Amino acid sequence: MNSGKPNILITEPIPAKVIDHLRDFANVTVGEKGYFQSEENLINEIQPYDALLCMLSVPVTEAVMKAGSNLKIVANFAVGYDNIDVETAGSLGIRVANTPDVLTEACGDYAMGLLLALSRKLKEAEQYLRDGNFKGWEPLGFLGMELRNRNLGIIGMGRIGQAFAHRARAFGMNILYHNRSKLDPDSEKALDATYIEDSGELAEKSDVVSLNCPLTDNTHHLVDSDFLNRMPVHALLINISRGAVIDEVALAEALHNKAIAGAALDVFEKEPEVHPKLLTAPNTLLLPHIASATHRTRQDIGMLAADAIISVLNGKDDREIPNLITP
């Protein structure tokens, strides 16, 4: 490493433009995919680095940050940051950054895509054709849910929740939402959205429930057996937030018992592990955490994280770095 430049660790490969941008400023090391998901590996190798650009799967714990005696900033390649011990970072004077805003539209599109695929049974219909079973148009084949005049219940009405709501409104859906607080009147009016204070009541009133909330102590296993039992039997569940918002055992049982009609999941509690009962559940669309997977969005995520790193290492005032997290 060149001692005249700061040292940056990127925990696995990201878009080349981002890496090149950082290499103009610093010595950059890019880890192998999965290697720094091990806390032990990170502890053993973090000490020389001034900055860490990491994935949600990387455990940035108290022990990691104490081992990183030169660390000045940890930047997550994600909008979430539940993998980072933010309080410890604050106590050690380490800045923490995430990447809000840049993935909103991609995630809004993706949530709408999941809903369309799930409600119209696209995965099952395609497999039916590929298996050689398609013999011609069938009047009772793969009947699904029409979206117009159905209720979409959104849990977590932040940027992504609102982006999904705008798209669903274009399909004629009615918007219900549960959030830590009500939207401002103008935003609520723009979506013609109805606030539901109790998440269980939202479950009862929704034909589709979408999870777009952060993972906190209050949202951990929010969707449990009680929540699922309150959903109508024809209802669908979508999750692009965090896997642990759902009790996966309870969901698998609900799907196998046809207590709800289907689920589309982009995230899982113990990624990359998927609960085996979910793998065999009917009308279930399971995808490998790709909600933000567009060329433009992934590059924008990386550039926002990189610019936060460069700003902090250059001594820029925290108030001028909009994506820093305050403990």
- Residues 89 and 133 reside in one and the same domain: no
Q: At residue 327, does pLDDT exceed 90?
A: no
pLDDT at 4: 84
Count up the domains in the chain and report the number. 2
CB atoms within 10 A of CB 72: 18
pLDDT in tens, 32-54: 999 999 999 999 999 999 999 99
Q: Does residue 1 sit within a domain?
A: no
114 and 90, same domain (yes or no): no
Are residues 21 and 144 located together in one domain of the fold?
Answer: no
Distance, CA of 232 to CA of 260 (rounded, Å)? 7
- Segment 320-325 mean pLDDT: 94
Are 175 and 313 in the same domain? Answer: no
HSE value, Cβ hemisphere, 13 Å, CA-based, for 92: 22
Angle at CA 261, nearest 5°, toward 257 and 266?
A: 105
Residues 13 and 90 in one domain: yes
Q: Answer whether residue 135 is part of any domain.
A: yes
Q: Do 274 and 304 sit in the same domain of this protein?
A: no
Same domain, 180 and 274: yes
Q: Which range of residues forms the domain containing residue 47?
A: 7-102+295-320
Percent of the chain with pLDDT over 90: 96
- Per-residue model confidence (pLDDT) at position 108: 98
What would the mean pLDDT of 282-298 be, rounded to a whole number? Answer: 96
Cα Rg of the chain, angstroms: 22
**pLDDT for residue 320 is more than 80:** yes
In this structure, the chain runs to a length of: 327
Q: Which residues are catalytic?
A: 242, 271, 289
**What CA–CA distance (Å, rounded) separates 58 from 266?**
18
Do 253 and 137 share a domain, yes or no? yes
Contact call for residues 156 and 133 (beta carbons, < 8 A): no
Residue at 2 is within a domain? no
Same domain, 131 and 276: yes
Does residue 1 surpass a pLDDT of 70?
A: no
> Are residues 131 and 243 located together in one domain of the fold?
yes
Q: Are residues 97 and 217 in the same domain?
A: no
Question: How many Cβ atoms sit within 10 Å of the Cβ of residue 240?
Answer: 25
Cβ within 8 Å of residue 220, ≥6 positions away: 244, 245
Per-residue pLDDT for 131 more than 80?
A: yes
Residue 326: pLDDT band with limits 50, 70, 90: confident
Buried-state track 199-210, b at ≥16 Cβ within 10 A, e below 16:
beebbebbbbbb
What's the pLDDT score for residue 3? 67
Residue 180 lies in a domain: yes
Q: Are 38 and 17 in contact (CB under 8 A)?
A: no
Residue 2: its pLDDT value, please? 60
pLDDT at residue 302, rounded to an integer: 97
What is the pTM for the complete model shown? 0.91
Answer yes or no: is 325 within a domain. no
CA dihedral (33, 34, 39, 45) in degrees, to 10, reads: -30
| CA-wise closest residue to 56 among 85, 84, 17 | 84
Q: In the prediction, which pLDDT does 300 show?
A: 97
HSE-up (13 A, CA, CB side) for residue 183? 25
Same domain membership, residue 158 and residue 140:
yes
- Tell me if 326 is assigned to some domain: no
Residue 10: closest CA among 305, 324, 327, 322: 305
pLDDT per residue as tens digits for the range 48-95: 999 999 999 999 999 999 999 999 999 999 998 999 999 999 999 999
CATH number of 313's domain = 3.40.50.720
Strand partners, 10: 30, 53
Confirm whether 143 is domain-assigned.
Answer: yes
Residue 77 lies in a domain: yes
Chain segment 142-166, per-residue pLDDT in tens: 999 999 999 999 999 999 999 999 9
